[in-house]
Structure 1
Amino acid sequence: MRHVSGGSPGTRRSALLVAAAAALLTLTTACGQEKGEQSPKGQNVGAEAPVEGGAGDGYGSGEGEGDGDGYGAGSGSAEGAGKAKSAGQLAVRDSKKLGKVVTDSAGFTLYRFDKDTAQPPKSTCADACEAAWPVVPAKGAKAAPGVDESLLGEVARADGSKQLTIDGWPMYRFAKDTEPGDAKGQGVGGTWYAAAPDGKKAAPGTAGDADANGDANGDADAGADGGAAKPADRAGLSTRNDPELGEIVVDGNGMTVYRFTKDSAWPMKSACTGACLKKWPVVEPVDKNDTLGILKKGFVTFDRPDGQKQQTIDCWPLYTFAGDKKPGDTNGQGVGGTWYAAAPDGKAVGATK
């Protein structure tokens, strides 16, 4: 019998260590070797991992989407009932299919029900319906950055609990949404729809959709505040040539994108939290293929401690400014000596450091 030597244990151990080191180096190249790299998921150092949903977390799992009762409950799942979970800091996700959608702090879609009413606020979802569509408690909910806080309210349910409302519409999650970004409840039973930040039905390129009372909002509301509609030829992130600042980054709506000099790229960290985010909403994740003229190195997202995901260029966190009212505005430039328009390579335009 021919004997093949596998080498000494020490030699094999050294080879394994070299291979592991090479794999780690491969994972840490997205943000530039000169300044070290973020973890593969881009999570803040010391930040808790975001909630991922799934069984046992209050979102339920659902076992069907029967629409005979308009609830989409089917056989349902009782996991959602009795485990109402605070939405925390609300956020707005820009969905290519649904338009602007309001989510909870973990990125789970919030929904509204056509059989409810907004004037006066009233929820008609209970028992089996509530198992499939867990209610969103009013307590602890905070308006999404850039959204009018006065739109948030509450409605008393039959059991005495208080449910979150947006412009009078009671808010729910869907038990079958098990991952942040899921919107499996959209259109279920012809009565359930993802909610827009103003409480209307989410709709691409519009401020809302026809509400439960048949009032057509749709295109009449689109662009009323400077235009939420995204031009067909405009990328999620692109650039424009500003007459004073030169080439700067803009989002899918043409709004100027900014950098905050108190942030850091390594470790990837945002110094803008709490009230700061109301004035400086984060730029949500953008597909790398949905960009034009933007540096691809370090074009990654990271998980903020508040549960939001934020886009970066060269690992620098990106924001927009609530004080910019229309495309082309650069009212955030130089604010506080720390906020500057972002260049295509992620640098802060005009910053002295």
Structure 2
Amino acid sequence: MTRTRAVALATTALLGALLGACGQPGRPGAAVPAGPDRVAAAAGGEIVPGAPELTTAVVPDLGTVLADGDGLTLYRSDRDTNDPPTSTCDGDCARRWPPALADSVDVRSQGVDQALLGTLDRPDGTRQVTVAGWPVYHFAADTAPGRAGGQGADGTWFAAAPNGRKALPPTADLALATASVGALGTVLTDRTGMTLYRSERDTTDPPTSTCEDACALRWPPLLVGSPDFGVQGVDRSLVGTTTRADGRLQVTVAGRPLYLFAGDRLCGDAGGQGLDGVWFAARTDGSRA
């Protein structure tokens, strides 16, 4: 077996591990998401100070969705209205679908158009977050980021997209999306929500990757089968590809080749940020986070 072939197979294996891990429960010893506590607080009507911080996340088979500050998927109901913003979910319904609450009319957000955000007053005196007028909710059975167990429930409940509409399943060819990752803000991700990086050693004119062999094992390139691939949340005019030394196509944004980091195991991980003073999570315009 040639060295190039061995590297390709190893890279594929690493990618499989990365993709399969995204959105799954934490490993033993991993930090436990704070999400369930926030859901419980919302169900009881108690507002957690400073919450919620509205973000975006990538859910397998749904693409980019609205999420709370802990990465938990947020939903909307077809029984509600957005003009005027009205929630029809109280009592037992609100225990199963805890409303996303705000402690102020000014909802803090990352990766969501602030102009779309608002609140409505619920009968119990709490404030519920609205996006494009639609009230948003948690699903009590979702206990970790990357889950969307409430999708399609009762033919009424659907994960909310960042524009307040229903989240649509990504096309089969989706390769590039976005999500909010901690203090980094909105960054580029692959279709399953894994953070994407750029290298200061690469060039943009022409787009050229300098990461091969052992480097590509640690930093697997984001590969596509053809230049025609799906993009979500990124200006398509900035997106392209570069041909690697082995002939495969690597995705670029603003001419920057994109990579995963082999040390990231779950959606929202960004362990490669700043490594060697060279590697940085990539923003939607190709700049470094």
**TM-score (normalised: structure 1):** 0.47
Which of 182, 201, 224 aligns to 2:147? It is 182
State the shift of 1:178 in Å.
1.4
- Asked whether the equivalents of residues 155 and 164 of structure 1 are also in contact (C-alpha less than 8 Å), the reply is yes
Is structure 2 residue 149 aligned with structure 1 residue 171?
no
Q: Deviations over 1:54-94 (max 9, x none)?
A: 4xx2424xxxxxxxxxxxxxxxxx99232344643322112
Which of 172, 189, 205 aligns to 1:243? It is 205
CA distance in 2: counterparts of 1:185 and 1:124, whole angstroms: 17
List structure 1 runs of 4+ shifted beyond 6 angstroms.
40-43, 238-241, 248-252, 291-297
Query: Residue 100 of structure 1 corresponds to which residue in structure 2?
Result: 64
Question: Counterparts in 2 of 1:130-169, with a 5 A limit?
Answer: 130-139=94-103, 141-145=107-111, 147-169=112-134
Point out where structure 2 has 5 or more consecutive residues left out of the alignment: 1-26, 177-189, 211-220, 224-229, 236-249, 252-256
- Asked whether the equivalents of residues 301 and 310 of structure 1 are also in contact (C-alpha less than 8 Å), the reply is no
Question: By percentage of residues, which structure has more strand?
Answer: 2
Aligned CA distance change for structure 1 residues 162 and 247 (closer, same or farther; 3 Å) = same
CA distance in 2: counterparts of 1:233 and 1:160, whole angstroms: 43
Q: Deviations over 1:316-345 (max 9, x none)?
A: 441313xx3xxxxx5x3xxxxxx49xxxxx
Is structure 2 residue 52 aligned with structure 1 residue 88?
yes
CA distance in 1: counterparts of 2:127 and 2:77, whole angstroms: 17
Query: Residue 282 of structure 1 corresponds to which residue in structure 2?
Result: none
Larger Rg: 1 or 2? 1
Is structure 2 residue 231 aligned with structure 1 residue 253?
yes
Query: Residue 270 of structure 2 corresponds to which residue in structure 1?
Result: 310
Q: Which range moves more in the overlay, 243-252 or 118-127?
A: 243-252
CA distance in 2: counterparts of 1:200 and 1:297, whole angstroms: 32
- Asked whether the equivalents of residues 300 and 313 of structure 1 are also in contact (C-alpha less than 8 Å), the reply is no
State the shift of 1:184 in Å.
1.0
Which one-letter code corresponds to 2:134 in the other structure? W
Which of 42, 45, 59 aligns to 2:39? It is 59
Aligned CA distance change for structure 1 residues 294 and 155 (closer, same or farther; 3 Å) = closer
State the shift of 1:246 in Å.
2.0
Which of 78, 83, 87 aligns to 1:114? It is 78
CA distance in 2: counterparts of 1:253 and 1:311, whole angstroms: 24
Query: Residue 11 of structure 1 corresponds to which residue in structure 2?
Result: none
Which of 200, 207, 231 aligns to 2:173? It is 231
Q: Deviations over 1:16-69 (max 9, x none)?
A: xxxxxxxxxxxxxxxxxxxxxxxx9998xxxxx563444xx2424xxxxxxxxx
Which one-letter code corresponds to 1:312 in the other structure? G
CA distance in 2: counterparts of 1:125 and 1:200, whole angstroms: 18
| Residue correspondences, number | 201
Equivalent position SS for 1:80 = helix
Q: Deviations over 1:250-309 (max 9, x none)?
A: 6973969xxxxxxxxxxxxxxxxxxxxxxxxxxxxxxxxxx9897777442589xxxx54
Q: Which range moves more in the overlay, 129-138 or 292-301?
A: 292-301
State the shift of 1:100 in Å.
1.1
- Asked whether the equivalents of residues 164 and 171 of structure 1 are also in contact (C-alpha less than 8 Å), the reply is yes
Query: Residue 239 of structure 2 corresponds to which residue in structure 1?
Result: none
Could you tell me the percent identity over the aligned residues?
A: 34
**TM-score (normalised: structure 2):** 0.56
- Asked whether the equivalents of residues 296 and 313 of structure 1 are also in contact (C-alpha less than 8 Å), the reply is no
CA distance in 1: counterparts of 2:154 and 2:263, whole angstroms: 39
Aligned CA distance change for structure 1 residues 197 and 124 (closer, same or farther; 3 Å) = same
Question: By percentage of residues, which structure has more helix?
Answer: 2
Which one-letter code corresponds to 2:43 in the other structure? G
- Asked whether the equivalents of residues 154 and 163 of structure 1 are also in contact (C-alpha less than 8 Å), the reply is yes
Equivalent position SS for 1:153 = strand
State the shift of 1:160 in Å.
2.4
